[in-house]
Structure 1
Amino acid sequence: MTDAMIPFESLEDPYWGDHPEIYEFEVMLRSFIYGELRGIRYHQDLADFLERNPTIAFTLGFKPDFGPENEYPALNVFQTPKTPHQTTITRCANKRFLAQAERFITDVADRVEAYCRRHTHLVEMHELWSETDDTNPGESEEKLDPDGLTKEQIRRLVNELMRHVCPNISFQRGVSKQIRKNLFLEVIAHCGLTNSSVYGGGDVFDIYLCPEEEELPHGRTFFDHMEGIALEEMLEMFDAAVESMVGGAKDIGLYDRPVDLAIDVTTVKYTGIGKSFSFQTLADPDSDEWSKRERSEAKAAIEEWELEPIVGEDPADIKHANFDNLEKRAAARRVKDCVRWVNGTKDQDEEIAYGFQFAAAAFAEHTCPMIYGVKPINNRTGDELAGHVRQFVERAQDLVVVDTVYMDAAYGRCSEVHNLFHYGHGFRTGDRFDVEYVTKVPERSRGRREVLEERYKIEHRFEDGKTALSIKRNYGFGDQHSGTGNAHTTLVAVKKWSVDTVADKVTDRVVFATNHQGEDPVELMRFINGYRDRWVIENGFKEVKKFLAETRSSSEKPRLFYFLFAVLLFNVWMLIDRVAKKRLGMEFAGEPIIKFEVFVAAVANFMRPVD
């Protein structure tokens, strides 16, 4: 591979100009070809292989970790080559290797394989994982019992599937070499699985799981290290782990057909200073009606976020920022902006119950639900929500073939979101997805009321005793006077799933928006009913929160990291269950045969470092 002639004049590196300190394009390309020939399929496996094989890394062109390369090559064995982290390899594949380079890599591998077959040579084209425990390679896997997996079998499955996660989550940067690799990851996994903090849960880990000669870092060290990881880097590590999981899922026959997507927003409860008090405590922070803690937190928040102008004002006015005085209005608006990514929950009235909010996207597949995308929400502007949808759909298209996109009502109110999808009239521009979508229309939407009451032009009207369907096509967003705007959709009113018979066409029905162009009303209703698959992500959120490590931190970085890691643990649980079902010859869908409590015990008790 080192001496092979490569036509670099035909391959472009668009990343080099803005990032001149990155690894050489030629070295990365030769490494990818080498990995393809060796059958190293996943980016984290290639990173681990290069790190474990310094001689091969030097031969491929990687430089020593410190100082210039020795002029005597034989002395390089005393140095360690600086090899790329998995996120660097993924970034190279996504941003440096254009279509020509990707085709070149696969073409070389195909030609070499064909040559070897013609000349009866052997080449390692497929390195498959062993189904035995890596820590005991001589031990054979006993036959799986469909009536109940043994603890040892589950542990082996856990160790096998955690290989998708651990190599992609790096805590090694800037950490003292005296701290064992993956110790941070093991402790946080333990805390997530036991819903404890790095303080209390860390103490339990130190007593029961940490080797006697090993000293566990202080809990504050964990937070300091998470604060040192850039937000973009956290999301890149998460994307890399998900990409590896999707590859593992495809290996057992999952996602082999077009996949539906579910996009939703979830809230993680926040109880830190500035968010656990009410509008009433802000209005009268010295009242004897409040507990000592409520008074203390209200006064601390008033001082920290400069809320003095609204102290003593009416709680309702504070909630709605209903002030003519600009200073008071600005202070009222700061109440929800004082912590990044924290927003008020929709089911609260006069109380300020705030939480960290995340947009998330999942494969809405009952065969194996998987949350593949996460973005923190700073505020719910149309531009921000539309940006999340665009990134989620594009990311999914890189991983699977996308069928239909189902979105929560938060997205149904934004013309910017509807405008991302081709509606079916006129030419489709390149910035619009040629994908069908369904989103629920919010309760207070003007268009929702128009369709339910069948105002203006309704193409299909509700017929008692037949279909409880009303359809308004070519509905325009934007200009409330003309009814037209920069986005168009079809509004469809259907019977609520919780209602047997429609007695009132307004209260017993719900409205959806879609770009589906079906002319048959009954077929359109069947298409809308597919929205129920979106509940896959709702159920997923409930399970993900079982994996959240506990924290009262107001910092967004630990909050994001904990949520991302909880999602990865949920995905591993789903994938492990499907791998077990595959080996047992069972159907993928249905209740997990590896129950949540069993999975938690397996990971918490048998978490092993991945070197």
Structure 2
Amino acid sequence: DHEAVEPFVHAVPLAYVQFDAHDRYAGSTSYEMATLFRLFLLKECHGWDHETALVEYLTKHPDLWDQFDLESVPDQSTLWRSWHHRFTTELQDTVETAARTILIKAQNAGVSVPRKPERQSRRYDTEDTESDPSDQTVLEQAETVTEQVSRVGFPAFSLDRGEGCEIHENAYWDLQTYLGLRENLAVNEGARSFIHESNRERTPLGHAHRGHVRDLSVTQIREMYRQAVSRLLDRVADTEEFFRAGIVAIDITEDDPFTGNRTGHEDEIIGTKEKTNEYAYQWATVQLVGNAVPIVLDARPVQKGDTRKEIVEDLLDSAEAAVHVDNVLMDREFDSQHILEMLSQRGLSYVVPKRMQTSEKAQAKRLFKKGKDRYETDRKLHLGDNEWHSTTLIYRRKENSEHTDHRQYSVFMTNRNSGLLTEYGYRWEIESGYKSIKRFMGATTSKNFGLRFFYFAFACLLYSIWRAVDLLVQVELTGEYEHSPIVTADNTLTLLKKETGIG
């Protein structure tokens, strides 16, 4: 049993491996093939693209030299030549396959891993043209799929405009998509540009677009969003690679700091999560993460007085109506024992980091003194009266921490086995998703709460459409789904504006 990847790399049995057939050097060399094999295995486990990172790591960790039978650290050029000129292609493939196997096995055993294992080789194979479709092929397939998906998602959105309107309702969604294509583009300026780029005879003016969106309530926007996502899920569920089950992450994000006068809007423009003197609109989402296509299942505003428990319950109601939820991942702002008890009562497992109080800090200090990297203990959290919530606390030392004391440790809570802790790394996907979503939002200075939320919710839909299109294109062209997109967000939005009537 090992508690880290490095000891396993050192312990890989190579005594009976015949390296001669894969050694393209004939003369004497400074380093044995078995030693180089272990070094490149270590490099691949960490996911480093260049030999320099391996050299720097070994230099900083002289304790590893004995494990790898090194009297000195090889320089970058020696390692580069060994990999590119000494190792055969078959041996390179073996290193990469072995590294992925180690990472997967370590993850499943609850051992901390340097990176999430990929499902296919990271090395580009120039001979494998079938599994690497050209950019033109991807774009052509994306155009077909985008047309299908836009017909599925957008009809769920509607405006209450009455009878006899000359401008087609889709023109409003075209304009909103157009705003998402341009960074910091407000609706008035966008509507003027939209006239020239659209092939529609009539397009909405900025004030008309803004007025109709303002008439939508938060409740209406949320209902339309859930209908659109439901239709989107139905479409991707046609593929064997998508399952209506998995891990979800819940989090809260915030708009850019609000710098205007918030008088009369104090319940909507609330403080930032960092507890600064700034104010911002806040939105909460629940998103599929892990191996699933990262679709945002629901979104809601966060207002003054909303408890974290109410937010989580609300979003989980939507998520569980759409998919089968197994596990829930959340940040430490959701570490309330009442939230954890609610999740357990719903039959859900969770992983949530815990804010360190006096007892956790004391335990971390003891672990630091003993030099232990990991520690588990059961804990009962008081719910009130004579009721308790049972959880497991897992202390884990952070790799490459900036601290030199007990602050190297993080504490996580889970109601399942500690192997579930490895899944917490998936939570970063909701954070990276927010970056794209905010890029898809039109710019506005309006303090109308419904309009602000609509801009965010529509951006969530555009993001979800992009990831759904990417899934369908990958399956069509390669027969499988890799989490890293092959269709870019810009391509998808450009195709969306084309399919919905722009340009």
Same fold (TM over 0.5): yes
Superposition TM-score, scaled by structure 1 size: 0.56
2:303 corresponds to which letter in structure 1? N
Tell me which of 345, 358, 361 is aligned to 1:449.
Answer: 361
Tell me what 1:53 maps to.
none
Shift of 1:602: 2.0
2:486 corresponds to which letter in structure 1? I
Residue-by-residue CA offset, 1:152-184 (whole Å, 9 max, x unaligned): 543222111112221101125437522223111
Contact 2:187 2:206 in 1 (8 A): yes
- Determine if the alignment matches structure 1 residue 355 to structure 2 residue 280: yes
Report SS of the residue matched to 2:148.
helix
Contact 2:380 2:388 in 1 (8 A): no
Contact 1:403 1:435 in 2 (8 A): yes
What runs of 5+ residues in structure 2 fail to find an aligned partner?
Answer: 1-129
Tell me what 2:153 maps to.
165
Superposition TM-score, scaled by structure 2 size: 0.67
Shift of 1:534: 0.8
Instruction: Please give the residue correspondences for 1:134-213 in structure 2 after superposition, counting only pairs within 5 Å.
Output: 146-150=133-137, 151-174=139-162, 177-195=165-183, 196-211=185-200, 213=201
- Determine if the alignment matches structure 1 residue 532 to structure 2 residue 444: no
Shift of 1:376: 0.8
Residue-by-residue CA offset, 1:468-523 (whole Å, 9 max, x unaligned): 224242233569xxxx76544333221225449x953x21011112222x4xxxxx
Q: Hey, what's the Cα distance between the residues in 2 that align with 1:539 and 1:366?
A: 15
- Determine if the alignment matches structure 1 residue 511 to structure 2 residue 406: no
CA separation of 1:551/1:210 partners in 2, compared to 1, >3 Å: closer, same or farther? farther
Shift of 1:268: 1.2
Residue-by-residue CA offset, 1:96-125 (whole Å, 9 max, x unaligned): xxxxxxxxxxxxxxxxxxxxxxxxxxxxxx
Instruction: Please give the residue correspondences for 1:70-469 in structure 2 after superposition, counting only pairs within 5 Å.
Output: 146-150=133-137, 151-174=139-162, 177-195=165-183, 196-211=185-200, 213-214=201-202, 216-256=203-243, 258-274=245-261, 304=263, 338-347=265-274, 349=276, 352-379=277-304, 381=306, 384-412=307-335, 414-422=336-344, 432-442=345-355, 445-446=357-358, 448-449=360-361, 451-453=363-365, 464=370, 467-469=373-375
Q: Hey, what's the Cα distance between the residues in 1 that align with 2:396 and 2:354?
A: 12
CA separation of 1:175/1:356 partners in 2, compared to 1, >3 Å: closer, same or farther? farther
Q: Hey, what's the Cα distance between the residues in 2 that align with 1:210 and 1:257?
A: 38
Q: Hey, what's the Cα distance between the residues in 1 that align with 2:169 and 2:330?
A: 40
Residue-by-residue CA offset, 1:225-274 (whole Å, 9 max, x unaligned): 12212221110100011111111121112443740111111111143522
Q: Hey, what's the Cα distance between the residues in 2 that align with 1:218 and 1:555?
A: 18
Residue-by-residue CA offset, 1:287-344 (whole Å, 9 max, x unaligned): xxxxxxxxxxxxxxxxx56xxxxxxxxxxxxxxxxxxxxxxxxxxxxxxxx3443222
Tell me which of 467, 483, 493 is aligned to 1:590.
Answer: 483
CA separation of 1:473/1:145 partners in 2, compared to 1, >3 Å: closer, same or farther? closer
1:221 corresponds to which letter in structure 2? A
What runs of 5+ residues in structure 1 fail to find an aligned partner?
Answer: 1-142, 276-303, 306-337, 423-431, 455-460, 519-523
Contact 1:366 1:590 in 2 (8 A): yes
2:247 corresponds to which letter in structure 1? D
Report SS of the residue matched to 1:392.
helix
1:379 corresponds to which letter in structure 2? K
Shift of 1:144: 12
Whose radius of gyration is greater, 1 or 2? 1
Shift of 1:420: 0.3
Tell me which of 536, 545, 549 is aligned to 2:438.
Answer: 545
Contact 2:141 2:473 in 1 (8 A): no
Instruction: Please give the residue correspondences for 1:460-609 in structure 2 after superposition, counting only pairs within 5 Å.
Output: 464=370, 467-477=373-383, 487-499=389-401, 504=405, 506-516=406-416, 518=417, 524=418, 526-608=419-501
The more displaced of 538-547 and 596-605 is: 596-605
Structure with the bigger RCO (C-alpha within 8 Å, sep 6+) is 2
Contact 1:439 1:512 in 2 (8 A): yes
Contact 2:283 2:300 in 1 (8 A): yes
Q: Hey, what's the Cα distance between the residues in 2 that align with 1:463 and 1:261?
A: 36
What is the aligned length? Answer: 371
Shift of 1:145: 8.4
Report SS of the residue matched to 1:469.
strand
Contact 2:150 2:499 in 1 (8 A): no
Report SS of the residue matched to 2:133.
coil
Shift of 1:348: 6.3
CA separation of 1:178/1:589 partners in 2, compared to 1, >3 Å: closer, same or farther? same
Q: Hey, what's the Cα distance between the residues in 2 that align with 1:527 and 1:362?
A: 18
Give the RMSD, CA atoms, in angstroms. Answer: 2.8
Q: Hey, what's the Cα distance between the residues in 2 that align with 1:174 and 1:491?
A: 57
Shift of 1:528: 1.6
Q: Hey, what's the Cα distance between the residues in 1 that align with 2:395 and 2:132?
A: 49
Instruction: Please give the residue correspondences for 1:50-65 in structure 2 after superposition, counting only pairs within 5 Å.
Output: none
Q: Hey, what's the Cα distance between the residues in 2 that align with 1:471 and 1:181?
A: 58
Report SS of the residue matched to 1:420.
helix
Tell me what 2:40 maps to.
none
CA separation of 1:568/1:463 partners in 2, compared to 1, >3 Å: closer, same or farther? same
Q: Hey, what's the Cα distance between the residues in 2 that align with 1:531 and 1:243?
A: 26
